[in-house]
Amino acid sequence: MEPVDVTVAALHASVDDPALNSMNFLNEVAQHYPDAVSLAAGRPYEEFFDSAVLHRHLDTFRRHLADDLGLSAAQVDRTLLQYGRTKGIVHHLIARNLAVDERITVDPEAIVVTVGCQEAMFLVLRALRAGPEDVLLAVAPTYVGLTGAARLVDLPVRPVAGGPDGIDLADLREQLRRARAEGLRPRACYVMPDFANPSGVSMDLAQRRRLLDLAAAEDLLLIEDNPYGLFPAAGTDRRPTLKALDTRRRVVYLGSFAKTVLPGARVGYVVADQRVAGSDGTVGPLADQLAKIKSMVTVNTSPIAQAVIGGALLAHGCSLVAANVRERAAYARNLRHMVDGLARRFPTGGPVRWNVPAGGFFVVVTVPFTVDDALLHRSAREYGVLWTPMAHFYDDGAPVNALRLSVSAVTPEQIDEGLDRLAALLTDELAHGVTAQGRRYATPRVSGHPRL
Amino acid sequence: MEPVDVTVAALHASVDDPALNSMNFLNEVAQHYPDAVSLAAGRPYEEFFDSAVLHRHLDTFRRHLADDLGLSAAQVDRTLLQYGRTKGIVHHLIARNLAVDERITVDPEAIVVTVGCQEAMFLVLRALRAGPEDVLLAVAPTYVGLTGAARLVDLPVRPVAGGPDGIDLADLREQLRRARAEGLRPRACYVMPDFANPSGVSMDLAQRRRLLDLAAAEDLLLIEDNPYGLFPAAGTDRRPTLKALDTRRRVVYLGSFAKTVLPGARVGYVVADQRVAGSDGTVGPLADQLAKIKSMVTVNTSPIAQAVIGGALLAHGCSLVAANVRERAAYARNLRHMVDGLARRFPTGGPVRWNVPAGGFFVVVTVPFTVDDALLHRSAREYGVLWTPMAHFYDDGAPVNALRLSVSAVTPEQIDEGLDRLAALLTDELAHGVTAQGRRYATPRVSGHPRL
């Protein structure tokens, strides 16, 4: 028998939690079936990857330090190689990017550069979870990284209905009322207003304003996560972020460069301009409190990784819209190819439905039967196609009749091949007369697509 | 009046904790007196810094991926730019380094590459803190990053006397007994057996074996932190780490490249080969559980930053002893210069005493009066020299009559200048007849220095 030093039951509960095991499970399936077409991975497109950019970006940022900021050669070396500022060294470039691309005006001192957006999420949740009465609200279905980070700080996540408008405001009000009636303190509500992961749903402008008004009226913080905002569908316009509309410091904004520059830098950020009064009477941005936590998690974000992102920003006047012309076109092309491909393979009004997102990486397909991990295994093994059961994005383990397809890391040819295989699987399942059971996923409102 | 959105009292208690404010305070003092000589900073020596190494290391690692591991050009690009393996991509090189430099044999699968050693510390403490009955033991005085990470997961830290042997084993036994009698569960004891920060004290070989025996007898995990082990004083030998002597998987080993390659990569690691039985009956290394937590903190360590470290390792056959010939000589020279300088300025048998560490970055000076933040401010303002009050390394706020001097980020000339200024301050304090109050710091045993 194998020796055992400790059981998982003696470790923090998070390590045995579905939210943390979910990603592992999905990765393992992918590794187990390397030849399957993956419509599961939310990774960015790799066709334009070229690691030669690393040298170029590093040198661009070094020149920026020397020429624009006036640093000596020794200071440049020290900035890149030594320990550094906890809140980061590309905050001024991020502020400029937010001004240029998002019309968000923010004091660079209110920005913390983090190790990917995941650390930003973790820092915010760690700061907000002060005691056992604290809870977080999140639009369901929810990005699993949010749920996982909440688990690490023992912060319960309560679902708010998403629905066709991105967030059901009546349900948000009801969840706030209920939590407070139970003596709980809802610290914030997590939302992804643009092309949400996994639902693909976006909020329209009026809904954004209503959400901000509600947040002000209810004294609620909003955590806005925006990894996909740069990638609208072909022919559609981008909408202002909540943060751009936020005149009352209600929004903590999470930013990622994983999809707009490259994931390997592991650089993200948080804009936290909320005014925090310290016990000594001084008032400063919430960012300063997050930085204190960060100093005990990762000390500071690698200045080398930041330099890569800084160089990429500088190469395009701090506009990621400009930097991603090719990528934006590729994602829009893929999204259209996916929804066109679904329409070609499944009859309108039939049992298989899907939404047509206004942008982003994800499309949700609903079917009249439960979509679980066993079906994913069968799909991988017998049909050679991977996708993500929507059940992974809910926290309650209830059955879900939907699956998520991703368009981000595949070519149009792979989309065709993957959809052929998916159609074979679903046709087979439908032929076996499996009937609906469990949660009925409501196909979100169709928008931005002439066909439907 | 300034608008306030939230008070610090509504945030997690860690943000207002002395452990987290300590580093901020010390950084602020340093920024406020930029012209002061800093004998405070534990940063590595900067004389050999050259950011051109970044390109070289990156290219070395890219060649390694292609030539040694057989990856295609597209796979190399993907490895560096895309999301990647949670446990890291330089684990095999770290295992080789541990074999070459430390004679530690470890399965690369038991290694998690982390965002600096700080994240390694955080992951281990997060995993171990399962409930309110859990406590951590740590040799006092303790590295403040350990205390801070423990605060983030609400894990109380109980001090164990360090004393002249690096750890007082009778006190360790007593603390274990006491905690258990209170219904608490001591999860581990944190130790820095080589040239500890801040005490400078090391454990001899016999003490290491006794500690390992005690850990086995008491079913206690040891967390061994080893950032300075590569830097013995001139003419002294390195000792085997606890992990090299660990035949019973009692030791979780924390590694850092901040002092041996460069801090700016923010790459560290943890060796966690303890066998963990999952709820599904499978058994795997503790590293796998830590990786699950990591996936919700930083997802994975930047492969670009890992490539820089990987390239540096490859450049010297994975030996950091070989890679640090210049640095090792510089630190040893500085350490000798510091203790010689102290001996020249303060009479033997006088009121000012200090230890003579067998290596590392730090020397502790004891004086017959309390050394607090006010004295540091006065030292910076009136005498132009910075150092660290030892009180920052204790958790109880009690007064301490000692200060830490660092030799790592200064030249011999700066050491002379700093010591002249320190001598002026201490002489002035002594002349004012301030008497001893508060905790009497016992000067650790002097070793490895012919003068004392």
Note the pLDDT tens digit of each residue in A96-124.
999 999 999 999 999 999 999 999 999 99
Instruction: Residue B274: name the closest of B259, B285, B263, B264 by CA.
Output: B285
A444 has pLDDT over 70: no
Nearest CA in chain B to A300: B266
**A274-278 average pLDDT score:** 95
Interface of A with B in 250-289 (CB under 8 A): 258, 262-267, 274-279, 283, 286, 289
Identity of the residue in B46, B62, B81 whose CB atom sits nearest the CB atom of A49: B81
Q: Would B450 be classed as within a structural domain?
A: no
Q: Would B448 be classed as within a structural domain?
A: no
**A348-359 average pLDDT score:** 95
Identity of the residue in B12, B82, B293 whose CB atom sits nearest the CB atom of A43: B82
Buried b (16+ CB within 10 A) or exposed e, A94-124: bbbbbebbbebebebebbbbbbbbbbbbbbb
Q: Would A451 be classed as within a structural domain?
A: no
Write down which residue in B273, B297, B322 finishes a domain.
Answer: B322
Query: Can you tell me the distance from the alpha carbon of A287 to that of A112, in angstroms, rounded to the nearest whole number?
Result: 6
**A387-409 average pLDDT score:** 94
Chain A residue numbers with beta carbons less than 8 Å from the beta carbon of B227 are none
Interface of A with B in 60-99 (CB under 8 A): 62, 74, 76-78, 80-84
Indicate if B191 and B209 belong to the same structural domain.
yes
The domain that holds B382 is classified in CATH as 3.90.1150.10
A264:B302 CB<8 A: yes
Nearest CA in chain A to B2: A283
Q: Would B15 be classed as within a structural domain?
A: yes
Indicate if B203 and B71 belong to the same structural domain.
yes
What is the ipTM, given to two decimal places? 0.96
Indicate if A248 and A289 belong to the same structural domain.
yes
Query: Can you tell me the distance from the alpha carbon of A124 to that of A128, in angstroms, rounded to the nearest whole number?
Result: 6
Indicate if A369 and A270 belong to the same structural domain.
no
CA dihedral sign, ordered B362, B367, B373, B377 = negative
pLDDT in tens, A91-102: 999 999 999 999
Indicate if B19 and B94 belong to the same structural domain.
no
The domain that holds B279 is classified in CATH as 3.40.640.10
A448 has pLDDT over 70: no
Whether A31 has its CB under 8 Å from any CB of chain B: the answer is no
B6:A277 CB<8 A: yes
pLDDT the model gives residue A281: 86
B14:A80 CB<8 A: no
**Alpha helix locations (H) across A384-436?**
412-431
pLDDT the model gives residue A27: 85
Whether A14 has its CB under 8 Å from any CB of chain B: the answer is yes
pLDDT the model gives residue A434: 61
Identity of the residue in B5, B77, B283 whose CB atom sits nearest the CB atom of A249: B5
Please give the interface size between A and B, counted as residue pairs whose CB atoms are below 8 Å apart: 275
Indicate if B238 and B300 belong to the same structural domain.
yes
pLDDT the model gives residue A449: 34
Interface of A with B in 112-141 (CB under 8 A): 115-116, 118-119, 122, 126-130
pLDDT the model gives residue B442: 63
**A59-68 average pLDDT score:** 98
Residue for token pair 């990894």: A227
Chain A residue numbers with beta carbons less than 8 Å from the beta carbon of B254 are none
Chain B residue numbers with beta carbons less than 8 Å from the beta carbon of A3 are 275
> Which residue(s) pair with B405 in the sheet?
B363
pLDDT in tens, B286-335: 999 999 999 999 999 999 999 999 999 999 999 999 999 999 999 999 99
Closest approach of A363 to chain B, Cα-based (Å): 21
Chain B residue numbers with beta carbons less than 8 Å from the beta carbon of A80 are 51, 54, 264
Q: Would A208 be classed as within a structural domain?
A: yes
Indicate if A216 and A339 belong to the same structural domain.
no
Identity of the residue in B2, B126, B276 whose CB atom sits nearest the CB atom of A8: B276
Nearest CA in chain B to A81: B264
Indicate if B17 and B109 belong to the same structural domain.
no
Chain A residue numbers with beta carbons less than 8 Å from the beta carbon of B302 are 115, 264-267, 302, 304-305
Q: Would B438 be classed as within a structural domain?
A: no
A77:B151 CB<8 A: no
| Structure tokens, B283 | 């058994």
Q: How confident is the model at residue A3 (pLDDT cuts 50, 70, 90)?
A: confident
pLDDT the model gives residue A452: 29
Indicate if A103 and A200 belong to the same structural domain.
yes
Identity of the residue in B81, B148, B296 whose CB atom sits nearest the CB atom of A149: B296
Write down which residue in A298, A322, A346 finishes a domain.
Answer: A322
pLDDT in tens, B191-223: 999 999 999 999 999 999 999 999 999 999 999
Residue for token pair 């033997």: B348
pLDDT the model gives residue B7: 93
B122:A11 CB<8 A: no
**A361-390 average pLDDT score:** 96
A323 has pLDDT over 70: yes
Instruction: Residue A129: name the closest of A197, A221, A216 by CA.
Output: A221
Number of domains in chain A: 2
Identity of the residue in A7, A130, A153 whose CB atom sits nearest the CB atom of B13: A130
Indicate if B208 and B303 belong to the same structural domain.
yes
Indicate if A206 and A78 belong to the same structural domain.
yes
DSSP string of A10-33? GS-GGGGSHHHHHHHHHHHHHHH-
Interface of B with A in 148-207 (CB under 8 A): 148-149, 151-153
Query: Can you tell me the distance from the alpha carbon of A426 to that of A354, in angstroms, rounded to the nearest whole number?
Result: 13
Buried b (16+ CB within 10 A) or exposed e, A418-448: bbbbbbbbbeebeeeeeeeeebebebbeebb
Q: Is B58 exposed, middle or buried (0-12, 13-18, 19+ CB in 10 A)?
A: buried
pLDDT the model gives residue A91: 98
Whether A304 has its CB under 8 Å from any CB of chain B: the answer is yes
A77:B302 CB<8 A: no
Whether A335 has its CB under 8 Å from any CB of chain B: the answer is no
Whether A217 has its CB under 8 Å from any CB of chain B: the answer is no
Instruction: Residue B364: name the closest of B139, B160, B117, B197 by CA.
Output: B197
Whether B411 has its CB under 8 Å from any CB of chain A: the answer is no
A303:B264 CB<8 A: yes
Q: Would B304 be classed as within a structural domain?
A: yes
The answer to whether the CB of A221 falls within 8 A of the CB of A137 is no
pLDDT the model gives residue B450: 30
Closest approach of A248 to chain B, Cα-based (Å): 9
Whether A145 has its CB under 8 Å from any CB of chain B: the answer is yes
Below-50 pLDDT ranges, chain B: 444-452
Whether A353 has its CB under 8 Å from any CB of chain B: the answer is no
Q: How many residues can be counted in chain B?
A: 452
A51:B80 CB<8 A: yes
A398 has pLDDT over 70: yes
Chain A residue numbers with beta carbons less than 8 Å from the beta carbon of B308 are 304
Closest approach of A4 to chain B, Cα-based (Å): 5
Indicate if A96 and A27 belong to the same structural domain.
no
Q: Would A3 be classed as within a structural domain?
A: no
Identity of the residue in B8, B275, B303 whose CB atom sits nearest the CB atom of A278: B8
Owning domain of residue A204:
53-322
pLDDT in tens, A167-216: 999 999 999 999 999 999 999 999 999 999 999 999 999 999 999 999 99
Closest approach of B352 to chain A, Cα-based (Å): 32
pLDDT the model gives residue B396: 87
Write down which residue in B294, B322, B350 finishes a domain.
Answer: B322
